[in-house]
Amino acid sequence: MRAVIIAVGVAFLISLLGTPIAIKVFTRLKAGQPIRAEGPAMHQGKKGTPTMGGVVFILATVIAYVAGHLALTTLPDAQIAQVEPTITALVLLGLMVFSGAVGFIDDFLKVRKRHSGGLNKRGKLFGQILVGAIFGVVALYFPSTMTDASGAATNTETVGATTLSFIRDIPALEIGKIASVIVIIFVVMAATNGVNLTDGLDGLATGASVMVLAAYALIAFWQYRHWCADPTYTANPNNYCYAVRDPLEIALIAGAAAGACVGFLWWNTSPARIFMGDTGALGLGGLIAGMAMSTRTILLLPIIGGLFVIITMSVVIQIISFRTTGKRVFRMSPLQHHFELAGWSEVNIVVRFWIIAGIGVAIALGLFYSDFLASMG
């Protein structure tokens, strides 16, 4: 727990203190956010606000991981802690960094062209598929092995699973490695686009991501305390354990990312002095997808990220309705813009949507814990 707290604190401070520096740098480089002409009229006042702020909390997360990881070497139960970098960290941070890199290219092209159209849809889609495929293969084809104090292997789990999972792996839904990689690609695409679509109002996506990442930190730490690789816990055959890979690493990274987002939110809340851009939105989406995969809660993700699902579905419904009937269901999509045009203030929308995000997280955590109680009999 100490390592996780250290990672959260370091990430928060780096993001909180580093974001003003990024604001100055991006302002000097004239890296301002272009605003879509077809968007809400009130957004035109945000034109020129520095973008690509996701660079700050992505870097803060990576640095905080290193700081928190160093603390693991001093833990009294180091024989069951990950005291060396693991494939799990490679996959999770890789998904965050490289998904963020796809977004960075998009942001860079927008700034360079001084137009809201950056990387074309095919280019962005190809980037998401490529990142999901690479780290999906690593997660499924490269088991990470750790040893206990005697040098014996204690866990050879892969980061991902070849079965679909809800709160844990569902053995009856064994789909094999190739299909599992395809599922991971889909989850990465869904999560990155979901966060990206939610990132339309000051602080909305950042605050919602804090809740989701904090929830995954709790889930992963709970799995660590009830881990099948912990001989002190599994000594009692009646104890239910989680067969996951490196849960403490997962908790550390999730906590670090949540802390970094809180520090960024200080500057990103209304009126935002900097936007996360596609760099941050795709980076967070990639990490959230990795969290669902590594904690074996892929089918729980639509609940824990319920706000992202609702906003994404508003876009899907709008497109289907307009193409089939020529009519729009919402004044504008994504959903937050519908309420803007209905007269709601930006802060009002953001706070209420945060409440919706919190409800989804609370339901998901409740389901997770109730399953544990049921498993314990």
Q: Which structural domain, as residue segments, surrounds residue 109?
A: 1-376
pLDDT per residue as tens digits for the range 291-306? 999 999 999 999 999 9
Mean per-residue pLDDT, 253-280: 96
- Does 120 carry a binding-site annotation? no
DSSP calls for 35-70: --TTS-GGGGGGTT-B--THHHHHHHHHHHHHHHHH
Q: Quick count: other Cβ atoms within 10 Å of Cβ 117? A: 12
pLDDT per residue as tens digits for the range 142-199? 886 655 445 555 557 899 999 999 998 998 999 999 999 999 999 999 999 999 999 9
**What separation in angstroms does the CA of 267 have from each of 22, 202, 206, 279?**
11, 9, 11, 16
Whole-model pTM: value is 0.93
pLDDT confidence of 115, banded at 50, 70, 90? low
Q: Are 214 and 306 in contact (CB under 8 A)?
A: no
DSSP calls for 276-315: -HHHHHHHHHHHHHHHHHHTT-GGGHHHHTHHHHHHHHHH
Nearest to 190 by CA among 242, 266, 129: 129
Q: Are 34 and 110 in contact (CB under 8 A)?
A: yes
DSSP letter assigned to residue 236: S
Q: Are 147 and 153 in contact (CB under 8 A)?
A: yes
Count of domains observed in the chain = 1
Burial environment of residue 76 by CB neighbours within 10 A (0 to 12, 13 to 18, 19 or more): exposed
pLDDT of residue 118: 73
Burial environment of residue 237 by CB neighbours within 10 A (0 to 12, 13 to 18, 19 or more): exposed
pLDDT of residue 88: 93
- Does 77 carry a binding-site annotation? no
Residue 76 CB contacts under 8 Å (≥ 6 apart), including other chains: none
pLDDT confidence of 342, banded at 50, 70, 90? very high
pLDDT of residue 40: 66
Computed over every residue of the chain, the mean pLDDT equals: 89
d(CA 286, CA 193): 9
